[in-house]
A and B are shown apart, each in its own frame.
Chain A
Amino acid sequence: MDIYDILKEKGISVGDKIRIDSIEGILMPKTEFVESDVIVVKMSNGYNIGIKFKEDTKIELIEKKKEQAPKKSAPKEFDPNKPTISILACGGTIASRVEYKTGAVFPSFSPEELIEAFPEIGDIANIKARKLFDLFSEDMQPEHWKIIAQEVDKEIESGVDGIVLMHGTDTMHYTSGALSFMLQDLPVPVVLVGAQRSSDRGSSDNRINLVSAVLFAAKGDIAEVVVCMHENSNDDYCSIHRGTKVRKMHTSRRDAFKSINASPLARVNYLGKKIEYLTTNFRKRDKSRKLKLDTNINPNVGIFYFHPGSKPEFLREMGKFYEGIVIAATGLGHIGINPGNDKLAKSFLPVVKELIEKGIPIVFAPQTIFGRLNMNVYSTGRILEKVGVIGNLCDWTIETALVKLMFVLGHTKDLNEIRRMMLTNIAGEISERSEYEL
């Protein structure tokens, strides 16, 4: 039996002051890092230690935890001279409070809490805020994207000047890509924002990211789905990335998000509260424009990462689970087709043909991440394109290819139509030019 259950039977719960043998302290929540018979207490000096519970361990309750209601701050008055934005929380802990007594972290979602934590956002705009869901980024599903898109639509209907979506960072670029296809003809900016450092610490990037995102949602001129995150390791600028071109490129750095094969659209000067545009190639804000919400997507799309040793049979097996497959291809757009009949090499050509004949589209994206596919250069590419592989001359990321294929499959099953839609630029996912200076 778990020691915390035994304590519960004794009427002792987390936050209570207890004495274990000679040690006094406050009972802390249990942690997955230690065995289940270890009691964690915070001593009066603030340090946590773990004590192994044995049969002769004496535990007594000294004092029950005093419940203290969190201070409620007054709602901020509506200012008709300021733009109004909506903050929708989808997960991540971009805003939270630490309970120092137990170390627990509580996410904050209400406008009052947000303004209290980040007073600057209240100076920029009137803030509406609510929670959609409280999800780890990795738990986000295509069905969640639909809900987000519908809620954004509602907020825009209500007349706000911009939307900020707080989101966990790991899959933020999938969500931004998917929303870019589902929210067409946007009248105002939709800005996704997250934090790479947890919000409990003074060094968190949450403040600069969120304040910049709010500023851009309220005043930015780009009516597209964008991601707002640190430009580099310094705490002064945030980049505004196009939702279909952005990718998380680092496990931990603040500037993990980079525009791939494209320049960021703009940058926000946090201290100066100024927006600098880096291109003119974007859809301009126009509140009179009518948003076209299109949440028809088919989530049955999978990614196959080709590598030396990968098995054609596995790709064939994927065809049983997915209605469309993105292949992370090598170089300019290649997977092994063994034209010279080498004894050791394997050919994927029969499987690819077979899947396409079954009506399962095969879409290529570069595993090099940077650069454009060109399947005209080598015979392997030419042969693959000839059998119907989609993606020649595209410079999309693997993730954008995935969400686009989901979107396209939500509209048609016809392979010709799929090909046409995939190769048509819908939300800036394919750059027209490959710029040298990137």
Chain B
Amino acid sequence: MNYKELGLKVGLEIHFQLEVDRKLFCNCSSAMKEKEPIGIVKRRLHPVASELGEIDVAAQFEYLRNRTFFYEIFKNESCLVEVDEEPPHDTNEEALRVALQIAKLFNCKIPQYIFVMRKTVIDGSNTSGFQRTMIVGFDGYFEFKGRKIPITQICLEEDAAAIDKEDDGNVYYKLNRLGIPLIEIDTGVIEDIEPKEVEEIAYQIFLIASSTRKIRRYIGAIRQDVNVSIKGGERVEIKGVQKLSLISKVIEKEVKRQLELIKKGEKPQKETRVAKEDGSTEFIRPLPGAERMYPETDVKPIKTEDVLKNLEIPEPLNKRIERYEKEYNLSKSLIESLLKTDYFFFFEELVKAFPKIEPSIIANILSATLREIERKEKVEVKLSEESLFEFFDALNKGFVFKEAAYDILKKMNEGKGVEEAVKELGLTPLTEEEILKIIEETKKEITDKKKLIGIVLSKVRGRANISKVIEIIESLS
């Protein structure tokens, strides 16, 4: 399909949860660890008349569904603020700092004073009937394949409550997600583009935002909304694309859907649809009207000057990737797999601390080896940065050898220290005398040098430096 000829226009709204301890407007934990609710409140929402006595289309539509909302309350993770029984507290400063870092990373203009707004939301996902949101940056951009992708706005907002179950007009929401700091990054209209490229753009946005090291990465913590239109069609907003890798499929299917409607002589409608796991979409409501925002008068406006004064702007992750490629000679695929770990930034600390170890070896152990342990042993690898530092320190000192990385790290993941792991595995380093003894003994049986090297190496595996052993064998013959 020729998307350029079809006049494909796409806009992205990307949401990330921030990795901060507290919620945006109260001191509840944002951990989402609790499983069982400690209570439930039952609520109804009502459309609110605007100054013209009109109720916007989207709000009325939801109202007609006549639903009752049940909100599940979780210990430590929801309080009266989430239950809509107490006004919001002051804005979480850490979340605000990260949001401003992100706005800077995308070259945005920063408002001198930020006002928290109430965005009317009447599907029940916010107990208050609105979402608190604030614009932290606007009119920004980032570079992609030699062109500038416009970033129209970056907002810091409250995440909504997650739906738990729904039956017969009764909708159950979990309040633990409500209020978690969420970043929304909106691109402007992107034209002259292929669906696959849109996916790459979304990934770049994710990378740049990740530069702050405060972006949550699990599924559900990142959500995309995609706006799609083609010539003769209409703007359709597709909400809740949970995976980056679904974006191109969602766009392709939406273009196809609009084309089919046009072919039948029907005009596609402006509407909001929701993405399903296979990339297809279903209608949820007409597109909401525009004027749905008014000030949250319960929260003080923020003077950004004071926050920006001491704000450090981290190195953009896409720049860091280029640097890893050049400075440390890492291959693109190795960087890719390192990015999927929690140790992408930590990698460089290790490289700097242990100059005797090849950077690619460090990267390989952090990505491939650890992933292999997870896959083969069917365990979750939860090694702290301290433990990994201990391991690489031992590697650097020649106390352990890279061939034993798998076994030692597996033990360490069970809670053992390096020395303990080495002892238990019988992997204490061999002395030169011991190595010589092994060579001499093996030599008695095998004369072919190639075979000899192979057998000796398997005997000393993980207990000696391989090149050194080969050197010794060579010097003996």
Determine if chain A interacts with chain B. Answer: yes
B146 shortest CB reach to chain A, Å: 26
Tell me, yes or no, whether A346 is within 8 Å of chain B by CB. no
**When A46-B119, A46-B291, A73-B53 are in contact, do A203 and B129 touch as well, CB less than 8 Å?**
yes
B302 closest partner in A (C-beta)? A50
- State in angstroms the CA–CA spacing of A383 and B294 once bound together: 60
CB neighbours (8 Å) of A201 from chain B are 48, 118, 128-130
Overall SS of chain A's interface: loop
B46 shortest CB reach to chain A, Å: 5
- State in angstroms the CA–CA spacing of A253 and B48 once bound together: 21
Asked whether, in the complex, the Cβ of B46 is within 8 Å of the Cβ of A252, the reply is: no
Interface size class of A (residues with CB under 8 A): 35 or more
B298 closest partner in A (C-beta)? A198
B130 closest partner in A (C-beta)? A201
CB neighbours (8 Å) of B83 from chain A are 233
Asked whether, in the complex, the Cβ of A47 is within 8 Å of the Cβ of B301, the reply is: no
**Residues B290-314 near A (CB distance < 8 A):** 290-295, 297, 300-301, 303
CB neighbours (8 Å) of A233 from chain B are 41, 83, 85
Tell me, yes or no, whether A84 is within 8 Å of chain B by CB. no
- State in angstroms the CA–CA spacing of A50 and B138 once bound together: 13
Asked whether, in the complex, the Cβ of A202 is within 8 Å of the Cβ of B50, the reply is: no
A97 shortest CB reach to chain B, Å: 5
Tell me, yes or no, whether B415 is within 8 Å of chain A by CB. no
Tell me, yes or no, whether A242 is within 8 Å of chain B by CB. no
Tell me, yes or no, whether A68 is within 8 Å of chain B by CB. yes
A47 shortest CB reach to chain B, Å: 4
Tell me, yes or no, whether B8 is within 8 Å of chain A by CB. no
Asked whether, in the complex, the Cβ of B135 is within 8 Å of the Cβ of A47, the reply is: yes
Asked whether, in the complex, the Cβ of A203 is within 8 Å of the Cβ of B84, the reply is: yes
A236 closest partner in B (C-beta)? B42
A71 closest partner in B (C-beta)? B53
Tell me, yes or no, whether A45 is within 8 Å of chain B by CB. yes
Asked whether, in the complex, the Cβ of B51 is within 8 Å of the Cβ of A99, the reply is: yes
**Residues A181-236 near B (CB distance < 8 A):** 197, 199-204, 207-208, 233-236
Asked whether, in the complex, the Cβ of A101 is within 8 Å of the Cβ of B85, the reply is: no
Tell me, yes or no, whether B127 is within 8 Å of chain A by CB. yes
Tell me, yes or no, whether A48 is within 8 Å of chain B by CB. yes
Tell me, yes or no, whether A178 is within 8 Å of chain B by CB. no
B159 shortest CB reach to chain A, Å: 17
CB neighbours (8 Å) of A203 from chain B are 43, 45, 84, 127-129
**When A40-B115, A201-B48, A252-B80 are in contact, do A45 and B85 touch as well, CB less than 8 Å?**
no
Tell me, yes or no, whether B52 is within 8 Å of chain A by CB. yes
CB neighbours (8 Å) of B119 from chain A are 46
A197 closest partner in B (C-beta)? B84
CB neighbours (8 Å) of A378 from chain B are none
Proximity bits, A352-369, B CB within 8 Å = 1, else 0: 000000000000000000
CB neighbours (8 Å) of B294 from chain A are 98, 100, 103, 200
- State in angstroms the CA–CA spacing of A39 and B444 once bound together: 92
CB neighbours (8 Å) of A97 from chain B are 49-51, 53
CB neighbours (8 Å) of B44 from chain A are 208, 235
**When A43-B135, A98-B294, A252-B80 are in contact, do A38 and B113 touch as well, CB less than 8 Å?**
yes
B432 shortest CB reach to chain A, Å: 71
CB neighbours (8 Å) of B155 from chain A are 47
CB neighbours (8 Å) of A101 from chain B are 51, 291
Q: Which of B83, B113, B297 has the most CB of A within 10 A?
A: B113
B301 touches which of A34, A45, A199 (Cβ 8 Å) = A34
- State in angstroms the CA–CA spacing of A106 and B53 once bound together: 12
- State in angstroms the CA–CA spacing of A49 and B293 once bound together: 13
- State in angstroms the CA–CA spacing of A45 and B152 once bound together: 9
B460 shortest CB reach to chain A, Å: 66
Tell me, yes or no, whether A436 is within 8 Å of chain B by CB. no
Asked whether, in the complex, the Cβ of A100 is within 8 Å of the Cβ of B51, the reply is: yes
**Residues A100-124 near B (CB distance < 8 A):** 100-101, 103-104, 106, 116-117
- State in angstroms the CA–CA spacing of A235 and B111 once bound together: 39
- State in angstroms the CA–CA spacing of A252 and B89 once bound together: 13
Tell me, yes or no, whether A130 is within 8 Å of chain B by CB. no
- State in angstroms the CA–CA spacing of A28 and B119 once bound together: 17
Tell me, yes or no, whether A254 is within 8 Å of chain B by CB. yes
B37 shortest CB reach to chain A, Å: 14
Asked whether, in the complex, the Cβ of A34 is within 8 Å of the Cβ of B113, the reply is: yes
Proximity bits, A27-54, B CB within 8 Å = 1, else 0: 0100101100010101101111111100
- State in angstroms the CA–CA spacing of A31 and B116 once bound together: 13
Asked whether, in the complex, the Cβ of B300 is within 8 Å of the Cβ of A33, the reply is: yes
A46 touches which of B42, B45, B114, B117 (Cβ 8 Å) = B117
Asked whether, in the complex, the Cβ of A235 is within 8 Å of the Cβ of B42, the reply is: yes
B71 closest partner in A (C-beta)? A233
**When A33-B301, A49-B135 are in contact, do A202 and B130 touch as well, CB less than 8 Å?**
yes
**Residues A227-260 near B (CB distance < 8 A):** 233-236, 251-254
A50 touches which of B51, B86, B113, B128 (Cβ 8 Å) = B113
**Residues B69-122 near A (CB distance < 8 A):** 80, 83-87, 111-115, 117-120, 122
- State in angstroms the CA–CA spacing of A103 and B120 once bound together: 12
B152 shortest CB reach to chain A, Å: 7
Tell me, yes or no, whether B227 is within 8 Å of chain A by CB. no
Asked whether, in the complex, the Cβ of A100 is within 8 Å of the Cβ of B50, the reply is: yes
- State in angstroms the CA–CA spacing of A43 and B137 once bound together: 12
B153 touches which of A28, A47, A52, A116 (Cβ 8 Å) = A47
Tell me, yes or no, whether A308 is within 8 Å of chain B by CB. no
Tell me, yes or no, whether B47 is within 8 Å of chain A by CB. yes
A50 closest partner in B (C-beta)? B113
CB neighbours (8 Å) of A340 from chain B are none
CB neighbours (8 Å) of A73 from chain B are 53
A426 shortest CB reach to chain B, Å: 35
Asked whether, in the complex, the Cβ of B115 is within 8 Å of the Cβ of A48, the reply is: yes
B46 touches which of A70, A202, A253 (Cβ 8 Å) = A202
CB neighbours (8 Å) of B120 from chain A are 202
Tell me, yes or no, whether B134 is within 8 Å of chain A by CB. yes
**When A51-B112, A202-B122, A253-B85 are in contact, do A46 and B48 touch as well, CB less than 8 Å?**
no
CB neighbours (8 Å) of A117 from chain B are 49
A202 closest partner in B (C-beta)? B129
Asked whether, in the complex, the Cβ of A70 is within 8 Å of the Cβ of B86, the reply is: no
B133 closest partner in A (C-beta)? A47
Asked whether, in the complex, the Cβ of A52 is within 8 Å of the Cβ of B48, the reply is: no
A176 shortest CB reach to chain B, Å: 22
CB neighbours (8 Å) of A199 from chain B are 48
Asked whether, in the complex, the Cβ of A98 is within 8 Å of the Cβ of B48, the reply is: yes
**Residues B28-56 near A (CB distance < 8 A):** 41-54
A100 touches which of B114, B152, B291 (Cβ 8 Å) = B291
Asked whether, in the complex, the Cβ of B129 is within 8 Å of the Cβ of A49, the reply is: no
A351 shortest CB reach to chain B, Å: 40
- State in angstroms the CA–CA spacing of A103 and B117 once bound together: 10
A49 touches which of B46, B59, B113 (Cβ 8 Å) = B113
CB neighbours (8 Å) of B138 from chain A are 43, 45
Proximity bits, A54-78, B CB within 8 Å = 1, else 0: 0000000000000010110100000
**Residues B124-151 near A (CB distance < 8 A):** 127-130, 133-135, 138
Q: Which of A49, A101, A116, A234 has the most CB of B within 10 A?
A: A49
> 14 A–B contact pairs at CB < 8 A?
A46-B291, A47-B133, A47-B155, A48-B117, A49-B114, A52-B112, A97-B49, A117-B49, A201-B130, A202-B122, A234-B43, A236-B42, A253-B86, A254-B85
**A residues whose Cβ falls under 8 Å from a Cβ of B:** 28, 31, 33-34, 38, 40, 42-43, 45-52, 68, 70-71, 73, 97-101, 103-104, 106, 116-117, 197, 199-204, 207-208, 233-236, 251-254
Chain A to chain B: the 3 pairs with minimum beta-carbon distance, closest first: A50-B113, A202-B129, A49-B111
Known: A38-B113, A43-B135, A98-B50. 10 other contacts (CB 8 A): A34-B303, A46-B290, A46-B291, A47-B117, A47-B293, A48-B115, A51-B111, A104-B51, A200-B294, A254-B85
